[in-house]
Every structure is written in structure tokens, then in C-alpha cells.
Chain A
Amino acid sequence: MADLTTLTAPEARRLLVRREISARELTRAVLDRLQAVEPDVRAFITLTADEALQQAGGADAALGTPGGDPQGTPLLTGIPVALKDLFCTRGVQTTSGSRILEGFVPPFDATVVARLRAAGAVFVGKTNMDEFAMGSSTESSGFGKTRNPWDLQRVPGGSSGGSAAAVAAGECLLALGTDTGGSIRQPASLCGIVGLKPTYGRVSRYGMIAFASSLDQAGPFSVGVEGSAMVLQAVAGLDPLDATSAPQAVPDYLAGLPGGIKGLRIGVPKEYFVPGTEPDVERLVRAAIAQLAALGAEVGEVSLPYTDYGLATYYIIAPAEVSSNLARYNGTKYGLAALDEPEMVRAMELTRQRGFGDETKRRIMLGTYALSSGYYDAYYLKAQKVRTLIKGDFDRAFERFDVLATPTSPTTAFRLGEKTQDPLAMYLSDVCTLPVNMAGLPGINVPCGFDGGGLPVGLQLIGRPFDEATLLRVAYTYEQSTDHHRRRPGREVMSQGPGVDGGVVPAGGAQETRR
């Protein structure tokens, strides 16, 4: 048996159901791998190894019930999953990447966590992220920086960088992240894996620590498209606890994967090859689009003229919602509290001063300003109108096309520290993804090759509202015609990991992948 941590989720599912491996073996292999590479990758804020082994034991019991039906067990039974640290987990610290929430232990599970639990998932831990999901490199985390498993000198992207890096490094088979302006798709692109942002409303946000409520959406990371379909299947659908979750029926995503893309109309928005797009990125994305055409799709160019305004509009709306959502962190309810200060208002100010990082403070200030009386009309109200225009661009494009194809990120993974001093440069890495959030549409990243330096490049596919099924089918069809997804970071070194008989990988294996 080869290294279990290189299995994709559907492969693991098949082996588990056939009882060729046990959930405990799989979980132990993943935990050993995690122990070996985590000192380099640093994808996690909190590990829940004991709980994981316990859950794996439960999964084995379910799979191995004498006379039982392993095929009938829930889809994720015994599969190790990592959760971005902004999903509330009952009894397990949840920080949203911020020191202000250090020590906060939620008394309840987010709906997505409860649904994954019900689907049999094994939780290995809570992953690192930009503070309150605000960032594109995971460097704004209050809990250290995560490294890209393809090159430890580079960022994994963000804000769900921990989840993306963990999946890429084999520290889990699947992960859940959130995407407000690209926070699933961009790190998936930079880490060379699949990441899906569902339609706004497709997945419940209950128990998911809010960044920008009108934009946030939870979604999966996986190696291979099928794994993301499995997670979406488990978490999608109406939740009475979230008024923004949608009542639309959830189709069978896995059944919809095969079928090909013959005759499907794919539009290529010309504005998405922005200045600053790396030549390798443009070349590989265009090659991927050509490949889609070769697979039977009808490809044509389309214009989304308001694309230029996406970034500016996003950086008014998102911070405005941040300034409201983050008002609750004043030391009286959760996490950090400046108890050394006796005066109440001063204690709240000190709590926020100490607990929030620079990027968070910057966005609170931006949002506070944009919503102030006298500026509301000029900024927030105008931004909402532009948002409608951006959505109109997409509506018109979807009259002619079923799916749009673009680069996910203009660049491959950049170096740690490269953009931390230049917020605007950092913001630009989401220029292709954030209009999709503004329009509430589903988007997926699928790996489409490697640049000259061996860093992964991602193709973004954008779909109609609630048409994740088509996105997944296009991504799957493309993936099956390439072998990008078979290439894993540093496998030749790191695959000394344990087989079914267990064993320990020496720490620092991932270091070998440094260039």
C-alpha cells in the first residue's frame, strides 16, 4: 500500500467501503504526516488529534458493522477533514485568526460543521487564516504564517491559506474554507488544488464568524474535483438558522460529474487578463481554455465592462460590513479582555487595540469612514449601485454563455513578506475573484499547470447562480483530461510517509521542497 495521505477523498472512500483500509489507519497516517510536515507548513492553529482518532473509531464501527452496509454509510465516513478556524466547533477553540478571540471555545457547532459531522467526517484540526479572513496570503494571522507546500519561502494565498496548504501537503484529505473575495479560490490556485466557492446562500453561514455578511460563503478544498463535490453535497442546502441560506433544491453533484461538456458555451471575459498578469499564468490559462474547446465546448470572448470597478467597490462594501460585524469584539463576551484597565470604555478600547492586527484595524477604519453620515451616499450607497452594475455584467454574459473561464489569480504564489507592506498590491491578487462574490455567483479553481518555477497555476470557472453542478462537471471534465492534479508538492521526498502499517516521518520533510 502506498502512502495513504496521497489518496484523494473518493479513492479513500472506495478503500474504506471495501474495508481495504480502516478509518483509524487513514487518520493515523494523516496525523503522522501532519506531525512530520507541520513544523514547516504551519497550516494549523489547533490540532484535534485525539478527537480525530475517536471519530475514526466511530467511523470504523459504522463501516464494519457485521451484516451492515458500508456502501450506505454517509459519504465522508472516516475521511480526515480540516476546518478553517472561523467555523465554530463545539468545545474546540475558534479564533478566526485573531488574538482577540484567543481562548474562545464555542458552545455549539456551525451548521456546516454539524453537517460534516453527520456525514461522518473526521476533524483533524482548525487551520490558519488571515485575521478575520481579511487578506490574501494568511500573513495577517495572529498565529503565525503558513507556508506554501510547493515552496516554503512563499505564501499559500489567503485568507483560507491554512486549509489550502493542509490539503496540498497531505495533512488532511479535504478542508473547508470561506471565500469573501477569493479566499478559497486564490489559495487553491496558489497551492495547486481544487477550491469551490458556492453561490451566496447555497451553504449556511450559521456559526461561521462573519467578515462581510453579504459576501461570505463557505466551500471545500480538495485534491481532485470529486472531493469538493462530496463536501458540497454534505454541507449545501437551506438552514432555518440562516435567513440568507437559500431554499433551492440540492442536486446530486457526484452523479452530475461525468457527461462531458460537448456544446457547452464557455465565455472568456477579456478584462480578466489584467495588466500585471504573469505571462506563464496567461499562457497556461489560455491553454486550459483551448483544452476545454478541444473537449467539445464552444468558446467565445465576452466583455464584463464594469470589472475595473470591482476592486474599489469591494473595498467599500466589505470594510463597511466589517466595521459593523467586528463591533462585537470589545472584551465583554469573547476571548481577549483588557482586565487590567478598570474603566469600562477604556478597557474596551484597549482590548481592541491589543487584540486586532493592523489589517483588521485598517479595514475597520475604512468601513467606519465609508458609513459615516455625510459620506454614506458618496461611498457605500454608490458602491451598492456599482455592485448592481457588476452583477448586470454577469447577467448579460450568462445570456450567451453557460460558464465563464478566467485566471484565478494574476500571479503564482508570491514570497512571504513580499506584499505585506503594500496593501494595495495585496488587494490586487483578488482582482479576478472578488467580482464573483459581488455578484453572489459560484466559482471554482482547478489546477491548470505549473509556471517556469514549478509553481501551480489555476483556472477559474464562474457559473450561474446555484449552478455548481455545471461548474463541477466542467472542472471534472477538464481535470480528467490532464494530470496536473496528480502532481503533489515534494512527494518524492515526503512520500516516505507511513503506509498501512504505520510509521513516523522525520520532521522537516517538507523542507526538501524549498527552492
Chain B
Amino acid sequence: MHLEEDTANLKHVRDATGETYSLMDVNRSGVALMEIVGEPDIRSPEEAGACLRELRAILRYIGVSSANMEEGAFRCDANVSLRPRGAQTYGAKVEVKNMNSFRSVVRALSYEIARQTEVLRSGGRIVQETRGWVEERGVTVSQRSKEAAHDYRYFPEPDLPPLFLDPTWVAEIRARLPELPGPKRTRFMAEYRLSAEEAATLTDSRALADFYEEAVRQGAGPRAAANWMLRDVLRLLNTSGTSIDGSKLTPGHLAGLIALLDDGRLSVRSAPEVLEEVFRTGASPEAVMQGRGLEQVSDSGALEAVVAQVLADGRNGRAIADYRAGKGAAMGFLVGAVMKQTRGTANPGLVKELLAQKLDAGG
């Protein structure tokens, strides 16, 4: 690992007339930059992508960088060298640069592996060089070969004497480190019985994981909370383009919503509508439910009248006859009619029970 200051960013542009030129963006000049060099032990483009994602998650967890690749806050140069089956050593190393997303990294490495394989298969030789990824064309092109490479004349910088880190200071920082993504994922799987994929998604950011755990702490069932988070909450975040910590939705809201469902006061059908308004306005689920008149009617007295009304309605005669003739499926139609009448607020289980009582009794 080494630390330096960022210099500038070159942007290569082609204007309307086809003229190419380069722009220098010096806005990042002097910004602290950390370079991490890994061992040559990654075996596939997908593994490289996964490794970068994990690294990004760690950097975000510990708050050192936004690690946003598109903004250049997280950059990657990758070396590819092939080893023909049976060979003991790796072939010449080709460095690939200019990849601006995880997707480009995976694509560029796949391309480069295929290219080198092709060269070797056709009896060619791989030369050590630097190649640039051209996103639009999906190819790498040679930028600089070793023969033309600069002799950087590296030598130990006398103005930077050896840095001795105070062990107490290191221990202090270590103690301040948050739970990192890997251990958190494992814990989520064990503690909340989540699948690997669910745990991975929920721990993708520290804010999302914290939100989830706080909802559970406030009484939401881990399974229900995970389902709502992974489906509805993430969708709302994505479509509105907000981040979890920037949204009006609180873990308390989610726990409240799930409690309403658990208590039978809110139907699964109405819940998404309530969540959406809570998300939009920051009002409590209880208030939104009340305001929209979506509380489930579980009072059999109130429902009996509606049931009687539905059974008396001539348009339902056919279904009533079918039910009595033993066609159980007709019940669904009648329940639907009651639900429609109550604008979905009736407790469907109770409705079914009341309908059966009336029909069986009247038979």
C-alpha cells in the first residue's frame, strides 16, 4: 500500500468535426490517494469484480472514501497474465487501464483473457505492455510497450523518512473500527436466518444494515423485515433515487407497519400503499392507515350487514348456487364481492367465515 496525492485526470475528447483533444481536470489535485497492490492470486474476471466490490464495501464501512468508481474516487488497473495448462510460470504481464465501472473491469478482463488466449493458441507471443480499455468498442488497445516504457528511476525518497506508527494509536483505531461487511454478513445469516444473497444485499451498505437491525430491534420479525426491505423498501429507494439514510422512512416506521400486519389491522394488500405514503411523507403507518381508511374491519357485527347485503344481491345468485352445489371456488368470488364493498378493509378470513356460516345455515 502507498499513500500519495492525486494529480489530475485526463479526459480524451472528440469534437463534432472529429478532432481529438485532451482536457485536464485538476479538481482532484492534492486529494489524498491510497494505492493498494494485491498479489497475483485472482483467477477470473468475476472474482476480480467480487474482490473490488468487497474492497469498496470495506472502504465505505470505515468511512475513508465514497469509493465511487464513476467519480474516480475508486480506480482500478488490472494485470492479466496467462499460464498455459502444465506450465510452471505465468506469461508476460499485461496491464489494463481506463476501466470506469465494475462492469467494465469484468468485461475488460474477459476480453483481455480471450485476446491473450487467441494470441497464444495461434502460436503468438504476449509482450509486456499497458493496454487501455475502450468502453464503446469493448476492446483493449495497446498504449505502451515495455520497450518504450519510461525508466522511472525510482529511489527511496529522502524527504520521507521511515514512519513509525505508535502501537497505542493503532490499537485505538482498531478499537474504533466498525463491524466489517464480511463478519456482518455471516452474523446476519446466523442471527436472522437470511440466505447468503439476502445477507449480502442487506449489508451492502452500513446504513442499510443498521436500518434493518434497528427495525428488528424495534420489534419487527427478522424475516418480515428482510422481505419488506429487500422488495418494497429497496424499490422505493431506487425509483426515488434516495439513499436509506436520506429518506424519510425510519426503522420505527417499518417495525410499525409490520406490527399492523401482525395484528391483523392492515391487510397485506393495503400495506404497500401505506408504506409508499410513509416513505413519501414521513407520517407514521398508523396515521396513514387511518387517514386512508385502510384499517381492516374485524368486527363481525359490522361485517354481517355487508355479508347479508352481498348474499341478497341478485348479481351474486349464480355464485351462491354454485357454492351450494359444492363448487367451493365460488366462495372466492363472494369474498371478493365483500372486500370490494368494504374497499378492501374487511378481514378476508373473517368474511369467509361469516359467508360460510350464512350459506351453510341457509342451506
Contact = CB atoms under 8 A, between A and B. Distances in A.
Contacts of A210: 159
Count chain A CB atoms within 10 A of each CB in B151, B153, B159, B161 and give the residue with the most.
B153
Contacts, number: 29
A244 B157 CA distance: 11
Count chain A CB atoms within 10 A of each CB in B151, B154, B160 and give the residue with the most.
B151
A210 B153 CA distance: 18
Interface of B: 151, 153-155, 157-161
B155 A214 contact: no
Contacts of A212: 158
B153 A368 contact: yes
B164 to A, nearest CB: 12
Contacts of B157: 213, 324
Interface in A345-402: 368, 371-373, 376, 380
Interface in A194-232: 210, 212-214
A243 B159 contact: yes
A244 B155 contact: no
B151 A244 contact: no
Nearest to A376: B155
B155 A320 contact: yes
Contacts of A479: none
Contacts of A380: 155
Given A212-B158, A373-B153, 19 more contacts: A210-B159, A213-B158, A214-B158, A243-B159, A243-B160, A244-B158, A244-B159, A244-B161, A320-B155, A321-B158, A324-B153, A324-B155, A324-B157, A368-B153, A371-B153, A372-B151, A372-B153, A373-B151, A376-B155
Contacts of B155: 320, 324, 371, 376, 380
A214 B158 CA distance: 5
Count chain B CB atoms within 10 A of each CB in A210, A214, A323 and give the residue with the most.
A214
10 contacts: A210-B159, A212-B158, A213-B157, A243-B159, A321-B158, A323-B153, A324-B155, A371-B153, A373-B153, A376-B153
Count chain A CB atoms within 10 A of each CB in B151, B158, B159, B161 and give the residue with the most.
B158
Interface in A307-352: 320-321, 323-324
A368 to B, nearest CB: 7
A212 B157 CA distance: 11
- Per DSSP, are chain A's interface residues mostly helix, strand or loop, or mixed? loop
A320 B153 CA distance: 9
Nearest to A205: B159
B361 to A, nearest CB: 92
B319 to A, nearest CB: 85
Contacts of B161: 243-244
Contacts of B153: 323-324, 368, 371-373, 376
A372 B158 CA distance: 18
Nearest to A369: B153
Nearest to B153: A371
Contacts of A213: 157-159
Contacts of A324: 153, 155, 157
A210 B158 CA distance: 11
A321 B156 CA distance: 10
Interface string A137-150: 00000000000000
A11 B155 CA distance: 48
A210 B155 CA distance: 16
A243 B179 CA distance: 34
B207 to A, nearest CB: 36
Nearest to A246: B161
A202 to B, nearest CB: 14
Contacts of B154: 371
Contacts of A373: 151, 153
Contacts of B151: 372-373
Contacts of A372: 151, 153
A243 to B, nearest CB: 6
B221 to A, nearest CB: 55
Contacts of A321: 158
A152 B160 CA distance: 42
A92 B283 CA distance: 65
A210 B161 CA distance: 16
A373 B147 CA distance: 13
A324 B154 CA distance: 9
A514 B350 CA distance: 122
Interface in A255-308: none
A265 B160 CA distance: 36
A368 B157 CA distance: 15
Contacts of B159: 210, 213, 243-244
A467 to B, nearest CB: 21
A244 B160 CA distance: 7
Contacts of A323: 153
Contacts of A244: 158-159, 161
Nearest to B152: A373
A234 to B, nearest CB: 24
A321 B154 CA distance: 11
- Give the top 6 A-B pairs by smallest Cβ distance, nearest first: A214-B158, A371-B153, A213-B158, A213-B159, A373-B151, A371-B155
A513 to B, nearest CB: 41
Interface string A8-35: 0000000000000000000000000000
Nearest to A243: B161
A380 B161 CA distance: 18
A113 B177 CA distance: 43
Nearest to A245: B161
A323 B151 CA distance: 13
Contacts of B158: 212-214, 244, 321
A465 to B, nearest CB: 14
A214 B151 CA distance: 22
